[in-house]
Structure 1
Amino acid sequence: MKTIFFLLLFSIALVPAFGQTNRIIRVDDSTTHEPVIGATIRTLPTVKPVIGAVTDVHGIATISGLPATITELTVSAVGYETKSFPVQSGTDTLVVHLKAAEESIDEVTVTATRTNSRIDDLPIKVEVLGQEDMDEESAVVPGNISSILGDISIIHTQRTSAVNGNQAIRMQGLDPKYTQILRDGLPLYEGFSGNLGVLQIPPLDLKQIEVIKGSVSTLYGGGAIGGLINIVSKAPTSEKPEFTALLNRSNLKETNLNTYYSQRYGAGKTGLTLFTGYTNQQAVDVTGDGFTDSPEIKQFNFHPRFFWNPSEHTKVDVGYAFTTEHRAGGYLPALEGTQPNAYQNTTDLQRHTVDFNASQHTSAHNSLTVKGALSTFHRQNTDYQKLSDGRQSSIYLEANDLIQLGKHQLIGGANLTVEAFRKNPDSTKLVDYTYSTLGGFMQDDWQLSEKVALQAGLRFDHHNTFGNFLLPRLSVKLKPSEPWTIRLSVGTGYKTPNLFINQTPGAPNVSLIFPRLLPIDVANVKAERSVGTNIDAAYSKTFESGFSIQVDQAFYYTYVNSPVVSSFSSLSSTLGAYTQLTNAPYNLFSLGTDTYVRLEYKAYELYFGYNHTLARRDGPTDNTYLPLAPQDKFSTTLAWENEHFRFGIESSYVGSQYLYNNQKVANYWFFAGAAEYHYSDHWRLVLNGENLFNVRQANYETVVTGSVTQPSFRPVWAPLEGRIVNLALKYTL
């Protein structure tokens, strides 16, 4: 009898042991369906002992030895709401969808890479200006994003016109045409539509700006030779309505009124964001020479986006963007109507864009995406009393498939880009053209181990006018220890000739105004090709005291063969010689280093950046420096914040800048400061000052020469408008 009793007790004791199972659980974001890395899965607090596991880079965790009596688990992750879920029997893999917490998190997801990966997991170096930066900038400089981009040491904002205020971006010392700009991952600013006002996007409508340095050819084409900038719009995050209104006024007679609204409806299945913005800036002559240093601008933006999630696995959003702008510069009495025959430069433009993005998660490891945009752009420009009038229609379509296979994230797809320019009757020699590029791409993100990751990409493009291009690229990420990350990238690129993207003249006195442009001789002008490499070493650590440090040291080298430049033609007009595009008898190279340091302690934040670039022509007879490419740029920001106040000061130094034929210009410092008072969570009052010491190019040389009817303008290498002070009032519901 005793034997039977002990056998019974032994059997009862074995039941839990034999009833234990291994459960595989996948955790993803309920909105993006991307894996949540580092999520903690565990038994309920009432269960002893606690059993749990942490998700890996694919959002997957395996819990071993889970008793069969356990019917419920909890999952938690930084930036997400903690969730309990049932342990279903007979299911090999449990999938749990986490909802993001309403509070913003420091962890940043990058969209430009197509994989929606965390910034720390990427084999390529990406710098992100996040939601907090956009919120601050929306009150500091409400009308555009050029100011916040210029705060990054590797980016130099170049003004391309002395009178109309247009600006362009230089990265790694290269001309602006080698920087590709995207809006929500879509290349909307190419050719005729990208020449004016691209940076006039109000930051109130933005979630973040992603900056990728160097060649990024695989996914978007060969145009991103110096770097890529992706401007990401906001998406609705809560069923509670969000509303923000901002009113701003500056001493340069600029007024901005911007509003933003977002909300999710129907348990999060639908959503809406709506931005409207109006800018009214009067023309101002700061130097007293009679010509505008700050142009007249009247601009209106309207940008609604609709979101629909019919299921947990399907996501669709559709947007419409409308911009209309009138911009005028030149001799101020002519704009005021008292001297109508004097020089004026006036532009009227309208831009309409419809874009869409649809994704379907066919399984836990596969996602299909189709996206695209249709855009029309119409511009009329009068310069030197001559009219140019044209319209561009653009199409971008893409389909891609993202597959997760073990330690691999594979993405493959194809895209089509069409750029059709049609000339209206005017005084130019421009002709109609249609460019189309059909491309296919493949990319593999391979996590070899916890310390090594590879990203290999290959792209093939066929251009209907300039031929075929094969673009390989390779990136490596090394994690030798927890604070350190090392990245190395090598990539190729190309740039097809285009009349409307050469914002920097190829030689002194060569004009890029439309009345002087000649059509491209496609039989004798070929596309540029490039190869570049980037090396980046980063150290990041947070100490128990709350002090955190981030140091990033980068090196880069880019070589461009047979660059397309603007040069004088043998033909001439009443304005002088016409301008034609040709392949230069030299190549280009850019070699540099970029240093980034960020320190944070309690309420204090300090940023320091230094960029040194040697950008030069490389030819048998021409080895001059690239014009308007500073060799030294230093930037620093110090900020302090408490419950109601925030103060910040910025300074930057621009040095060793050359014009044509190695003509060096003066070095200069630029200082800015801002003070913010916020009352509760609703009201913010911001006083901001840019260029506090009133640095102007006119302090060093005369910018405008000649008569008031046929003036000549020197290349712009320093600020023209001097000190800018603005006061902004921001209300958030």
Structure 2
Amino acid sequence: MKKYLLFLFFMLNVSAFAQVENDTINEKTEELEEITIQSTRTSRTIRNTPTRVETIDAEELEEKANMKPSNVSMVLHESTGISVQQTSATSGNASIRVQGLDGRYTQLLKDGYPNFGNFASGLSILEIPPLDLKQVEIVKGPASTLFGGGAIAGVVNFVSKTPTEKGEYNFIINQSNIGLTNLGGYISRKHGKFGYAFLALLNLQQAYDVDDDDFSEAPKSNNFTLNPRLYFYPNEKTTFMFGNSFTMGNMKGGDMHVIDGNADAFHTYFEKNETLRNTTTFEFDHKAENRNSFKFKQSLSFFDRKISIPAYDFSGLNTNTYTDASYLINRDKYTIIGGVNLVYDNFKQRTVSNLDAKSFTAGAYVQHTWDVTENIKLESGLRFDNVRYSNINFSKDQFFVLPRVSALFKFSNAWSSRIGGGLGYKVPTIFTEQTETIQYQNVQALSGVVAEESVGGTADVNFRTNIAENLTMSVNQMFFLTSISKPLVLQSDGDDLFFINASDPIITSGFETNFKFIYEEDFKLFIGYTFTDARAKYLTENQFLPFVPKNKLNLALIYEKENNFKFGLEGYYTDRQFVYDGDEKPDFWEFGFMAEKTLFKKFSVFINFENFTDTRQSRYEPVVQGSHNAPTFEDIWTHTEGFTINGGVKLKL
């Protein structure tokens, strides 16, 4: 009952705030607002969607791909309210945090398919390349009504490009000073009743030790991705898609002598990750004459991973299947979508089966979007999930009722607002950021725990105006609040580690402030500030959550002449933060500069100076303690590799 009362209290007290859209500032703004959002499943444009959705468009994705073509970590690291938390000092594994919450509370999707959780979560963002992405959609706050368990902090949906009749043929070569080489290409085309899209990417990384402590900041690694997709269009209203994404990777970090093949009695430590991910997807989409549509989605994903350190191995196979069928009713004044889905997740540990676990979720959902007037749009949704999860110790069934509401108010051409909130849950798992840092050593199987449950919401206000004839400004002020009851907390009993449900909640609240200035479409200035107050109420003394700075500031200045050149200068401030042992770490700044020049319309060269002030953890404290044979590692709270330079060439045909 408390979570329902908190939900109602939140909705009543923040109804004065929300996100604003301007309909008519200029043609470019109008084009941006016509972006169709996939994450809400209603095929509405962002301007007419009550749910608050942030988008990262193709242009910005291309800029971030210049910085790191191998994966999407740079795309998310520099977004307001989102951080990428590195979980290993030697291998660079990482996860995503939204609004201060642990990575397990954010649902990662690729084209709507949730294949990146549990055992795969520590490497997921390192295995999603940005080269074939059309846009990234971010829903902050509870999104469980449409996406089920795990969407407590929010949803990040990576949306792929689809074939066009003109075709697209893009290629990139990138090289960095720390020994990273990227070779990639994306091609696609629609021809008659058939279409295809194909992504291929090869990443080669040499081991890199920036502080000469004999331990790698970047591991020696190689991985490649192949992702073909085939399309069949029997008529204008029907689409079949079949795809298969295959990724294989090997990473070896640790003592540089061991990595180089020169291990001896004094140099023995290493951390090795061997991974294989294969995801097969099928999609059927049919649009009826009355604007209604039916969509069926199916995926089967295998994630095979082996972690090795001296005298210890941990390996297993995670199998995930996802099936979703939905029907969309489109009318002039309202949209209704209803559907059912089934999710099966099974982890099988090799050698021993102590940590084997599986879950099966059957869910049904409905969402109604109502255009009350041209300026008022309401959205309400309801989801029912029945979840059975089990391991060697116990088996449990839980039933969840998940309501969600949101509203869009357009007060004028310059002002509008959005507010939304709902409930969520997360099935218990041993695969968290904290257990990832210790390679799951001595972690015991779950016993007697229940799912974490949440209530929360977001509200924001947005204002856009023309300051002068050629200067426009937009301001967005967003507030958020999330409370997670029965949070899963890691405890120790001697050498054994185990999870319990804490009696008191985790509560995270705060706000994001974003300014955007555009001068003559050439100069763009972005200013983003995030304040986060994240507390673990079950702790008796220091209740601050680890790796959550209270204050973060994002600055970016872009100067661009379309199809000619582009320059960008970025700066980021991160406030003090705590680590797992309660120690407080200092604040820091980081800066970057990028440049790109287009030649002959189809060929461009780029260079990127990332973190050119060389901010890194080893400048504040030793990252590695102890001997080379039995080292211990500090928690990672900032960059480890320091200043990096990369550059390359791109070809667009």
Relative to the length of structure 1, the TM-score reads: 0.81
1: CA distance between counterparts of 2:580 and 2:349?
33
Of 112, 123, 134 in structure 2, the residue corresponding to residue 196 of structure 1 is 123
Structure 2 residue 422 is matched with structure 1 residue 515:
no
Of 428, 447, 464 in structure 2, the residue corresponding to residue 497 of structure 1 is 428
Report the equivalent of 1:37: none
Report the equivalent of 1:366: 292
2: CA distance between counterparts of 1:430 and 1:511?
19
- Residue type matched to 1:619 in 2? Y
1:566-624 deviations in whole A, cap 9, x for unaligned? 22134xxxxxx122121124311001010111111121111110000000111373451
Report the equivalent of 2:619: 699
1: CA distance between counterparts of 2:119 and 2:282?
22
Report the equivalent of 1:475: 406
SS in 2 for 1:504: helix
Structure 2 residue 165 is matched with structure 1 residue 234:
no
SS in 2 for 1:333: helix
1:318-375 deviations in whole A, cap 9, x for unaligned? 1110000001111111111211561111011111111122111233231111001001
**Superposition pairs of residues 592-611 of structure 1, within 5 angstroms:** 592-602=510-520, 603-611=522-530
SS in 1 for 2:125: coil
SS in 2 for 1:364: coil
SS in 1 for 2:434: coil
**Superposition pairs of residues 154-233 of structure 1, within 5 angstroms:** 154-233=81-160
Q: Report which of the two structures shows the higher radius of gyration computed on alpha carbons.
A: 1
1:36-72 deviations in whole A, cap 9, x for unaligned? xxxxxxxxxxxxxxxxxxxx9xxxxxxxxxxxxxxxx
Report the equivalent of 1:305: 229
Which has the bigger relative contact order, CA under 8 A and spacing at least 6? 2
CA contact (8 A) 1:154 1:171 kept: yes
CA contact (8 A) 2:428 2:449 kept: yes
- Per the TM alignment, residue 243 of structure 1 is displaced from its structure 2 partner at its CA by 1.2
1:661-717 deviations in whole A, cap 9, x for unaligned? 653211000100001111132111001011110011111111111221221111111
Report the equivalent of 2:392: none
- Residue type matched to 2:348 in 1? R
CA contact (8 A) 1:605 1:639 kept: yes
2: CA distance between counterparts of 1:530 and 1:252?
42
Pair 1:105–1:179, CA change in 2 (3 A) = closer
SS in 2 for 1:363: coil
- Residue type matched to 1:599 in 2? F
SS in 1 for 2:127: coil
Structure 2 residue 526 is matched with structure 1 residue 613:
no
- Residue type matched to 1:152 in 2? S
CA contact (8 A) 1:222 1:471 kept: no
Report the equivalent of 1:29: none
- Residue type matched to 1:409 in 2? T
CA contact (8 A) 1:529 1:562 kept: yes
- Residue type matched to 1:206 in 2? L
SS in 2 for 1:337: coil
Report the equivalent of 1:115: 42
Pair 1:293–1:620, CA change in 2 (3 A) = closer
1:131-179 deviations in whole A, cap 9, x for unaligned? 1112222223211111121111211111111111011111111111111
Structure 2 residue 183 is matched with structure 1 residue 284:
no
- Per the TM alignment, residue 544 of structure 1 is displaced from its structure 2 partner at its CA by 7.9
**Superposition pairs of residues 349-498 of structure 1, within 5 angstroms:** 349-425=275-351, 430-465=354-389, 466=396, 467-498=398-429
1: CA distance between counterparts of 2:434 and 2:300?
28
CA contact (8 A) 1:430 1:517 kept: no
Report the equivalent of 2:11: none
- Per the TM alignment, residue 105 of structure 1 is displaced from its structure 2 partner at its CA by 6.2
SS in 1 for 2:217: coil
1:491-540 deviations in whole A, cap 9, x for unaligned? 1111111112x1036xxxx964233221111xx11111110021111113
2: CA distance between counterparts of 1:385 and 1:417?
36
Report the equivalent of 2:489: 565
1:180-224 deviations in whole A, cap 9, x for unaligned? 110001101121122324343221111111111111111101311
Report the equivalent of 1:633: 552
SS in 1 for 2:477: strand
Report the equivalent of 1:93: none
- Residue type matched to 2:524 in 1? E
Structure 1: gaps spanning 5 or more residues:
1-55, 57-77, 80-103, 571-576
- Residue type matched to 1:489 in 2? G
SS in 2 for 1:702: coil
Q: How many residues align?
A: 615
CA contact (8 A) 1:140 1:686 kept: no
In percent, how many aligned pairs have the same letter?
A: 34
- Per the TM alignment, residue 406 of structure 1 is displaced from its structure 2 partner at its CA by 4.0
2: CA distance between counterparts of 1:287 and 1:315?
53
2: CA distance between counterparts of 1:220 and 1:106?
24
1: CA distance between counterparts of 2:536 and 2:187?
49
CA contact (8 A) 1:123 1:454 kept: yes
CA contact (8 A) 2:73 2:125 kept: no
Report the equivalent of 1:584: 502
- Residue type matched to 1:724 in 2? T
- Per the TM alignment, residue 488 of structure 1 is displaced from its structure 2 partner at its CA by 0.8
CA contact (8 A) 1:380 1:390 kept: yes
2: CA distance between counterparts of 1:635 and 1:154?
10
- Residue type matched to 1:657 in 2? Q
Pair 1:731–1:338, CA change in 2 (3 A) = same
- Per the TM alignment, residue 424 of structure 1 is displaced from its structure 2 partner at its CA by 1.9
SS in 1 for 2:577: coil
2: CA distance between counterparts of 1:709 and 1:585?
40
- Per the TM alignment, residue 431 of structure 1 is displaced from its structure 2 partner at its CA by 3.3
CA contact (8 A) 2:88 2:437 kept: no
- Residue type matched to 2:643 in 1? R
- Residue type matched to 2:508 in 1? S
Of 550, 575, 595 in structure 2, the residue corresponding to residue 675 of structure 1 is 595
- Residue type matched to 1:148 in 2? V
Report the equivalent of 1:148: 75
Report the equivalent of 1:261: 187
SS in 2 for 1:322: strand
CA contact (8 A) 1:322 1:352 kept: yes
Of 263, 276, 293 in structure 1, the residue corresponding to residue 217 of structure 2 is 293
1: CA distance between counterparts of 2:202 and 2:459?
42
2: CA distance between counterparts of 1:277 and 1:619?
45
SS in 1 for 2:585: coil
2: CA distance between counterparts of 1:122 and 1:618?
35
CA contact (8 A) 2:72 2:125 kept: no
2: CA distance between counterparts of 1:139 and 1:619?
43
CA contact (8 A) 1:206 1:232 kept: yes
Report the equivalent of 1:3: none
- Residue type matched to 1:365 in 2? R
2: CA distance between counterparts of 1:379 and 1:150?
25
- Per the TM alignment, residue 394 of structure 1 is displaced from its structure 2 partner at its CA by 0.9
- Per the TM alignment, residue 106 of structure 1 is displaced from its structure 2 partner at its CA by 6.2
Relative to the length of structure 2, the TM-score reads: 0.91
SS in 2 for 1:187: coil
